[in-house]
Amino acid sequence: MLLRESLRPSGDFGGLEEPSIPLPHFAKADIAVRPIGCSEDLWLPVQVKSRTSHSKNRPGRRRQTWEFQDVSGYSGMSVICISLQKGLQEPPLVWIFPGGYFEYLAPPGKLSICRGGKHDTEERRCSFEQKQSCSRHVGRRLLSLWERAKRGESSQVKLESFATLQTQLGRAHLAEWKMLQKCLELFGSIPEEVETREARCASLPYDLEIRLVDCPQRQWQRLQLKSAFSVNWSDDGPGSSLVTTRKRTGQLTVPYYEDDFDFLLVSSPQNDSAYQEVGSRQMATSPSIEDDTKNRWRFFYLIPMAELVKEGVVSTRQGGQVGVKTFTLDFSRSPLRAKPRNRRSSRLIKWRVDASDSTAAGIESSSLLFSRQSRGFAATTNSDSDSAVHL
């Protein structure tokens, strides 16, 4: 990637570094940078916008124009706009703007850059080429922005801690990120040394991969992460929670397929109002309902794909089985006493992990993930572990 190449040290440019752990897929910033060798938790957030061709000239417009969408909402950040110019011999064009620059655009969120126009200025225009004027090099320009913000000389960009950038997410994606952190805590209790890595693309049907560091087969187990949603109308009774098991294919949402991942990892419900409503109304009659704050992250389900196929949750390539888009799991304290045993949610109880005892939870998770009997359908064998995190 041209942008990352421009961050490398060269000549008298000391270079910029990114965090060792990538930002979440849906974080507001695409990347964060600071000078190489800096130990302070101060990062310059950067949003990247790109396009591969210039816009067709409209009547009365003679100059080349590049249009970038959704550029608003990045106040305090640096926004890099890149035109990759497919099919042309000239190098990519690149501009750097402060995020607040776009707040008053008309129409909102749409930036049109005309060659030589009001947005295509020496102050904004940059280059990926090191041989260009030092002040125009992308890496040097970002370094200058970081240094000015560090000295308090710029009100247009703001340095942030890595934790702040990690949590600059929409509500739904923030909930997913919090669940990911709890899952990593769970995997950290596994007795063996394991490494994890997030899916390389947000559109993949799994979220996380995990494997044993010393596993001779070096196989990654793919996990789809879900947070349950507590409801008060389930036929399965108190403590039952919904789990969504669908993905988007084009304009449609369909159930997952048997080869999409190896394990489904589901956390306890996190929706406050629904859970508390159920608990307050049924606490007196059902000892299986516990206080929400106590059980917030107590239970996890770690269900192998073979079991999801058996229970009709996922679709199959052969046999014509059509999966479901939602199903229920039991997060009550004493599920077997509270529920009929012939329900799917009762049959799946055996895959529930109680994380209140971290040692026992680690041993159980290791057994489920890495025993030969509970292996999923399609473990991957890619040995590339550049983004893996050792636990």
What digits encode the pLDDT tens for the residues 20-69? 988 988 899 999 999 999 999 999 999 999 886 665 555 555 668 888 99
Residues of the chain below pLDDT 50: 273-290, 373-383, 385
Q: According to the model, what pLDDT value does residue 177 have?
A: 87
* Max CA distance (Å), the chain: 76
User: Which strand (E) or helix (H) includes residue 277?
Assistant: helix 272-282
Spatial contact of 68 and 48, defined as CB atoms under 8 Å apart: no
Strand, helix or coil for residue 308: helix
Query: Which regions of the chain carry the CATH code 3.40.1350.140?
Result: 171-390
* DSSP classification of residue 256: P
Q: According to the model, what pLDDT value does residue 95 have?
A: 95
- Residues 279-330 pLDDT 10s: 444 444 444 444 555 567 889 999 999 999 999 999 999 988 999 999 999 9
Strand partners for 352: 301
- 160 phi, psi to nearest 5 deg: -130, 160
The CATH architecture one would assign to domain 171-390 is 3-Layer(aba) Sandwich (3.40)
Report the C-alpha gap between 10 and 143 in whole angstroms. 13
Q: What is the residue type of 158?
A: K
CA-wise closest residue to 241 among 279, 187, 200: 279
Q: According to the model, what pLDDT value does residue 231 have?
A: 76
**DSSP for 10-43?**
BTTB--EE--SSPPPTT-S-SEEEEETT--SS-B
| Angle of helix 358-370 versus helix 171-188 axis, rounded to 10 | 90
Retrieve residue 217's tokens: 């087969």
Residues 178-209: b if buried by 16+ CB within 10 A, e if exposed: bbbebbeebbebbeeebbbbbbeeeeeebbbb
Report the C-alpha gap between 136 and 127 in whole angstroms. 6
CA-wise closest residue to 258 among 201, 312, 204: 312
Query: HSE of 354 in the Cβ direction (CA atoms, 13 Å)?
Result: 10
Q: According to the model, what pLDDT value does residue 130 have?
A: 74
320-323 — which CB contacts under 8 Å span 24+ positions? 322/255, 323/245, 323/255, 323/256, 323/257
Q: Which residue has the tokens 């269900």?
A: 303
Q: According to the model, what pLDDT value does residue 384 have?
A: 52
Number of H helices, E strands in the chain: 10, 20
**Distance of CA 244 to CAs 58, 154, 224, 310, Å?**
46, 45, 11, 18
Spatial contact of 161 and 43, defined as CB atoms under 8 Å apart: yes
Radius of gyration (C-alpha) of the chain in whole angstroms: 25
CA-wise closest residue to 51 among 88, 22, 25: 88
